[in-house]
Amino acid sequence: MSSNNIWRIILAAWIHDPAEKAIILMRGKSHEAGTVSALQQQIFGKSGIPVDLKKLVKQADHWASAADRPQFGASGRQSWAQVRFDKEPELVHPLSGERIENIHRFNIDVDQIEAVSQAHFSHLVHTEGQAENKANDQVDFRSSALAFWRFGPEPPAPELGELWTQMPADTRIPDHSIWAHLDLSSAFASAFSGDENVGKGGRPALLQMAFGPVQDFIAQARTTSDLWAGSHLLSRIAWEGMRVVCEKLGPQSILFPQLRRVPQVDLWLLEQGLNPELFDDVSWKKSGSDANPLFAAALPNKFLALVPESMADELAQTVKQAVADWVLAQGQATIDALFDKTEMAETVDSEDGQDIVVAQLQQQLAGFPEVHWTAVPWQNEEQGRETLAAFYPDGCKDPGFFGSEAWKMLPKEKMELVDGMTLFKPNEGTLYPVNYDLAERSLAAAKTVRTFPQLQQHGYRCSLCGEREWLTHDRELLSHYPNKGDKLKNSLWSIVGKKQPSWARKGEHLCGLCAIKRIWPSRFAEEVGQATGREAHRFVVSTHTMALVSSLDRWRQQNARNVLPIAWQSQLDGVETVALPAGLISKLRGEDEAVSKVVRKLPALLQHYQDRDDLEEYKDRGDSSEQLGRAVRELFGHKPESYYALILMDGDSMGAWLSDGDSKGINYGDAFHSKVQAGLDNRKGNNQRLRDYLQTPKAVSPARHIAISSALNSFALEIVPYVVESMFKGKLLYAGGDDVLAMVSVDDLLPCLTLLRYAYSGIEPSKEVWRWVNSTGVQGEKNEKIKIANGHIYLKSKLYRMMGRDASASVGAIIAHHQAPLGKVLTELRAAESRAKNSGRDTFSLSILRRSGGRSDFSGKWQLNHPSDEVNFESSPMGLLLRSREALSDEKLSRRAAYILQEWLRQMPQQPNSEMLKKTMEFQFERQGGDAQLGRELAQHGERLCYEGVIKREDLKQYLSEQLGVAEFLAREGRG
């Protein structure tokens, strides 16, 4: 089929239902008149959608509806089963069943709503001459379909509010949006269009592809910039693969991840010729800093697409070649940048120099990235049973979805469920869970078959990965160790290190892949600058600076500040301003210029003197880092902070959320609007089939996958950057869906961890939580810019759906000295996250790596949804850790209390008596000047964890000792 015909079908399917359907139903007009009719005539002519497309659109609509929700009808007499959404607006969270009621009342009539909607979509229709400003009114089906997909869900009028973005497809089952339905309908339509005979329609297939390696590639890092670059490159590689599918079949064909509002996809849409004015209000066009969402690694390393079966294999091979070509192109651009920076292109013979580097690069990039894929032709019931059986134990009669309660509840023919409510006979769209299960299992099988091409490397290895030779214009240089002598003073990397230190530290020599990673921040910043029309910068906050910001911020807030001696103040003019966390920069606005100067430049001055002390020529100078250190201690009134923190957060059981409807998600009864739900509850009586139906877990569906992906996108692109960088003194290194890596100041670590966890699930924080989160520390005061409740977050006038109260996340955190090797710190960070996962999930695990070589560890459950009313945040592991830190920070309580209690705990019996434990904790806290109540609660908390089976009784002493040790370390004013 021609490309133009595919886009005609996509657009026809996308406008088969009006976006405002939920608002106009039951208000005197058919939803198929009004906006739908007007748009169909505007796009396809007076006759509307051509006859040859209508059959495909109808089939796509039916399959999409069956895949996403139970198909039932009710007679007009059943008012309990009908919902006037303009009067009773309600959204149901598709993963948790949480409800947002009365979210928005509509005081505009049907004609006005239709007029607003029609004007909105008419503005999105593109003509073939529009891009070149030519007089050609012929509809550009491709550009129009892309514009409808991207900007259709954007609110067209203030009166419609953010509810427009969440408008339900079915007011009776408001757990998925009209946009999800239109996306899926057009995806099925394009998948059916694979047959040359449009009226006949082809078969769809699920294409799933994964790119790697992931963890090893990201972990090979020496700087925080390397960490960001590794994750961002993988995200970009994934997009370059998805781009192939989007250009052939449209972005709606990508079922997971959801691509709408992803900045990198917006850039592509601009390249496709969409009206640039449509992008005037997007956030990524308004920032030149790395706060720009284009810098976020927002896409996962795999995707799931709905494609025509006839195109699946060809698409997969095209994707595989496209990502390999893209990486090779980045490698060539990297080499060009290196030679330009060193000016070696003018001095080195091309044949014997740059060509040698290019040959090395091509050899090293062979087989990168790893690409695994599977294509599953859509299976009917008979085919699905037979194919799935191969992945399940012998003798399994009902493999996978066929053994689920959801399948057993589906009627084989049309049947009445209750009081005029009829369940329709399911079509093949209902078998989405079967086909998704097959795609997942066959991809996992494909990953077990790997070919590793032999890579012969003869010289010394890359300083970063230690796997491949470092790039050189002269192969004889490879026989010399990079850090020894001056034999490599004229090597490519030695010259780069002098010309551009951020690309190569002293002695570093990098391979092709690591060179791409190291230089990617500079190259991508140029790309962002071209896209936004303004100079863009990637600011790298060093671990040294992040450690210092705690002391700098406390000093800034003092009413009677000490001042830096004039001799040192004058030297601040000789150093550059350092990159600071955005949260601290915002606090400096309106601050005294002298204070701002110290905060912005003191870290650079300290680093300058530490570096200078290593040079022989400065040995006998009177000024030294030691003297500056004394001046800084006098300035702060204590040792400057020398520790920083890293956070690694990962959503729990993501595989189960995507594939297991029985263990994760909601029941069919939970998805109904409250009015319909009440009507069904009143009628279920002795109707066992209805009772069973309402309690049956909802099957896995495309809408569920879209909901998960949209939640993860919103979390990564909007919520995490705001929490880490605006509410706290932190720097986001990467956020790809449920994966977050961030660096924060030590004093902000615990409250930042806490708010991220609440935000991930959209659970409303209590007043006590806000007390710890707010920098003011005022009891009960909330941050008015962000509101979290009912599985959603309202931020900056926009509504974002999160993962819901039933979803959890595990977090590892490390506190380390700023001079500790980053590789070691990252290894410990991943170990901390693994401990959290292995402790039953929904856990945080914190490790302190002391410079002296000692360490402290503590792990605790989040307990955000504890079934007991006696357990609130203040009595949870994190709440008690925060309270202990606060108590030990108080001058009234000696920090010796922690050491004394740790010693007493060591001397107690292996399984101490409950009363003995409480009395001991009370006594020591009170004796050292603190609150006996806190000591008692710590003991009671430990007892409760033993009772609940969270920890073993013989581990109780160690648990309490670790908690006290971590709290004491965090309570210190300076940790030099």
Q: Is residue 361 part of a domain?
A: yes
Identify whether 725 is part of a domain: no
Structure-block tokens of residue 173: 């089952």
Q: Check pLDDT > 70 for residue 621.
A: no
**pLDDT of residue 641 exceeding 50:** yes
- How high is the pLDDT of residue 868? 57
Strand 254-256 relative to strand 204-212, pairing: unpaired
Read off the CATH number of the domain in which 519 is found: 3.30.70.2220
618 pLDDT band (50/70/90 cuts)?
very low
CA angle 752, 754, 757 (to 5 degrees): 110
Distance separating the N- and C-terminal Cα atoms of the chain: 69
Task: Indicate if the pLDDT at residue 197 is higher than 50.
Answer: no
The residue that leads in pLDDT, 658 or 75, is 658
Q: What is the pLDDT of residue 820?
A: 93
Distance CA 396, CA 388 (A): 10
Give yes or no: residues 484 and 621 share one domain: no
Say whether 113 sits in a helix, a strand or coil. Answer: helix
Return the SS3 of 371: strand
In this structure, are 146 and 214 located in the same domain? no
For position 363, what pLDDT does the model report?
A: 93
Q: Same domain for 303 and 336?
A: yes
pLDDT at 102 over 80: no
Instruction: For residues 712-723, give the mean pLDDT.
Output: 94
> Which residues are registered as beta bridge partners of 376?
206
Give me the amino acid identity at 655: G
Both 358 and 474 in a single domain? yes
Phi, psi of 788, rounded to the nearest 5 degrees:
-120, 125
What is the average pLDDT score of the chain? 86
Residue 411 lies inside a defined structural domain of this protein: no
Higher pLDDT, 103 or 845: 845
Collect all residues with Cβ–Cβ distance below 8 Å to 411 and sequence separation of at least 6.
Answer: 423, 424, 425, 426
**Is the CB of residue 309 less than 8 Å from the CB of residue 205?**
yes
The pLDDT-based confidence of 763 (bands split at 50, 70, 90) is: very high
C-alpha separations of 914 from 619, 659, 762, 901 in Å:
61, 44, 36, 15
Question: How high is the pLDDT of residue 597?
Answer: 92
Is the pLDDT at 343 greater than 80, yes or no? no
Which of 512, 532, 552 corresponds to the end of one domain? 532
Does 26 share its domain with 112? yes
376: Cβ contacts below 8 Å, ≥ 6 apart: 205, 206, 208, 435, 438, 439, 442
Please state the rounded mean pLDDT for residues 24-30.
63
DSSP-derived 3-state class of residue 304: strand
Please, which pLDDT band fits residue 779 given cuts at 50, 70 and 90? very low
Three-state SS at 701: coil
pLDDT of 849 reads 95
3-class state of residue 731 by DSSP = strand
Alpha carbon separation from 549 to 720, 729, 775, 973 (Å, rounded): 20, 8, 15, 13
Query: What does the pLDDT read at residue 33?
Result: 61
Cβ contact 240:323 at 8 Å:
yes
In this prediction, residue 614 carries a pLDDT of: 52
pLDDT higher than 60, residue 345:
no
Mean pLDDT of 257-281: 95
- Counting the structural domains of the chain, the total is 4
Assess contact for 401 and 437: CB atoms under 8 A: yes
> What's the pLDDT score for residue 201?
57
User: With left for phi above 0 and alpha for psi between -120 and 50, is residue 78 left, alpha or beta?
Assistant: beta
Give the pLDDT score at 870.
Answer: 58
In angstroms, rounded to a whole number, what is the distance separating the alpha carbons of residues 132 and 581?
A: 43
Provide the pLDDT for residue 615. 47
- Strand 302-308 to strand 204-212: parallel, antiparallel, or no bridges (unpaired)? antiparallel
Instruction: Check residue 674 and give its pLDDT.
Output: 93
Share of the chain above pLDDT 70, in %: 90
823 exposure class (CB count in 10 Å sphere: 0-12, 13-18, 19+): middle
In a domain, 701, yes or no: no
Domain-located, residue 327: yes
Residue 26: closest CA among 519, 542, 742, 675: 675
Residue 247, in any domain of the structure: yes
pLDDT tens readout for residues 414-468? 667 777 677 777 899 999 999 999 999 999 999 887 666 677 888 889 999 999 9
Tell me: the pLDDT tens digits for 508-556? 999 999 999 999 999 999 999 988 888 887 778 889 999 999 999 999 9
Q: What is the pLDDT of residues 472-519, one digit of tens each?
A: 988 888 888 876 667 788 888 999 988 898 899 888 999 999 999 999
Q: What is the CA radius of gyration of the chain?
A: 31
Which range (253-262, 287-296, 688-697) has the least confidence?
A: 287-296
613 and 496 in a single domain? The answer is no
Count CA atoms closer than 13 A to 696's CA, side-chain side. Answer: 22
- Tokens at residue 93, please? 């969270």
Checking if the pLDDT of 781 tops 80, the result is: no
At residue 358, the pLDDT reads 92
> pLDDT at position 653, please?
93
* DSSP letter for each residue of 512-573: HHHHHHHHHHHHHHHHHHHHHTS--------HHHHHHHHHHHHHHH-SS-----HHHHHHHT
Residues 6+ positions from 686 with CB-CB distance below 8 Å? none
pLDDT-wise least confident of 11-25, 71-85, 170-184? 71-85
Question: Is a pLDDT exceeding 70 seen at residue 366?
Answer: yes
Q: Are residues 51 and 113 in the same domain?
A: yes
- Confidence bin at 292 (pLDDT 50/70/90): confident
Closest to 521 (Cα-Cα) out of 236, 301, 261? 236
Does 538 fall in a domain? no
All residues at 6 or more sequence positions from 757 whose CB lies less than 8 Å from its CB, including other chains: 649, 809, 811, 844, 862, 864
Domain ends where: 589, 623, 638?
638
Reduced to 3 states, what is the DSSP secondary structure of residue 943? Answer: helix
If asked whether residues 548 and 499 sit together in one domain, one would say no
Structure tokens at 97: 């069943």
pLDDT exceeds 90 at position 898: no
pLDDT category of residue 2 using cuts at 50, 70 and 90? low
| Tens digits of residue pLDDT in 845-880 | 999 999 888 899 999 999 887 555 556 888 888 988
pLDDT at 26 over 70: no
Question: Rounded distance, CA 154 to CA 179, Å?
Answer: 11
Q: Is residue 31 located within the same domain as residue 170? A: yes
The predicted structure's pLDDT at residue 168: 93
**Residue-wise over 589-624: b if at least 16 C-beta within 10 A, else e?**
eeeeeebbbbbbbbbbbbbbbeeeeeeeeeeeeeee
CA separation for the pair 122, 43 (Å, rounded): 9
User: pLDDT value at position 903?
Assistant: 84
pLDDT at 103: 67
Helix (H, G, I), strand (E, B) or coil at 894: coil
**Predicted confidence (pLDDT) at residue 720 exceeds the cutoff of 90:** yes
pTM here?
Answer: 0.91
Q: Which residue has the higher pLDDT, 576 or 720?
A: 720
Going by pLDDT thresholds of 50, 70 and 90, the confidence category of residue 895 is confident
Say yes or no to pLDDT of 352 above 80: no
Confidence category of residue 194, pLDDT binned at 50, 70, 90: low
How buried is 217 (Cβ within 10 angstroms: 0-12 exposed, 13-18 middle, 19+ buried)?
Answer: buried
Minimal CA–CA distance to 733: which of 300, 296, 289?
296
Q: Answer whether 548's CB lies under 8 Å from 743's CB.
A: no
Q: Assign 106 a pLDDT band (cuts: 50, 70, 90).
A: low
- Helix 51-68 with 178-192: angle, nearest 10 deg: 130
Q: What pLDDT shows up at residue 364?
A: 94
String of DSSP letters for 415-483:
EEEETTEEEPPP-GGGGHHHHHHHHHHHHHHHHT----------SPBPTTTSSSBPP-S-GGGGGS-TT
Mark whether 115 and 169 lie in a shared domain. Answer: yes
Match 């090597």 to its residue by tokens: 491
**What does the alpha-carbon distance between residue 804 and residue 93 come to, in Å, rounded to a whole number?**
7
CA–CA separation, 812 vs 652, rounded Å? 13
Q: What is the DSSP string of 586-651?
A: HHHTTS-HHHHHHHHHHHHHHHHHHHHTTSGGGTT-S--HHHHHHHHHHHHTSPPP-EEEEEEEEE
**Same structural domain, 557 and 522:** no
264 and 115 in a single domain? The answer is no
> For residue 640, how far is the Cα from the chain centroid?
33
Q: How confident is the model at residue 198 (pLDDT cuts 50, 70, 90)?
A: very low
Average pLDDT over residues 206-211: 97
Top-confidence range, 205-209, 466-470, 606-610, 821-825? 205-209
Q: Is residue 707 part of a domain?
A: no
Domain enclosing residue 624, as ranges: 543-638
CB 839 within 8 A of CB 860: no
What's the pLDDT score for residue 875? Answer: 82
Domain boundary among 638, 673, 708: 638
3-state secondary structure of 254: strand
d(CA 917, CA 91): 49
The closest of 154, 158, 175, 153 to 83, measured between CA atoms, is 175
